[in-house]
Amino acid sequence: MDILVNNAGILRDKTLYNMEENEWDGIMEVHLKGHYNCTRPFVRYIRDENRLNCRILNMSSVSGLFWEFRSD
């Protein structure tokens, strides 16, 4: 294995100020902990197998770059 692609994500159809804390926690579980849970064993594999040319690609969405203001 030479590359790991982390591309998991979920979206809640709410603005930040309408979101409950448990919904925010669910998003963080998928976005951050999902990347961690995949990357950690891959890094161990790279180290243990002395694979120096492996790559990790972490993807995100434009939702993290552009905020949509809604007055609902």
Instruction: Per residue of the chain (72 residues), give pLDDT as tens.
Output: 899 999 887 777 777 778 889 988 988 888 889 899 999 999 999 999 999 899 999 987 766 556 665 555
Total domains present in the chain: 1
Domain presence at residue 71: no
| Domain extent at residue 56 | 3-64
26 — phi, psi (to 5°)? -65, -40
Domain presence at residue 72: no
Q: pTM score, two decimals?
A: 0.70
Residue 31: its pLDDT value, please? 85
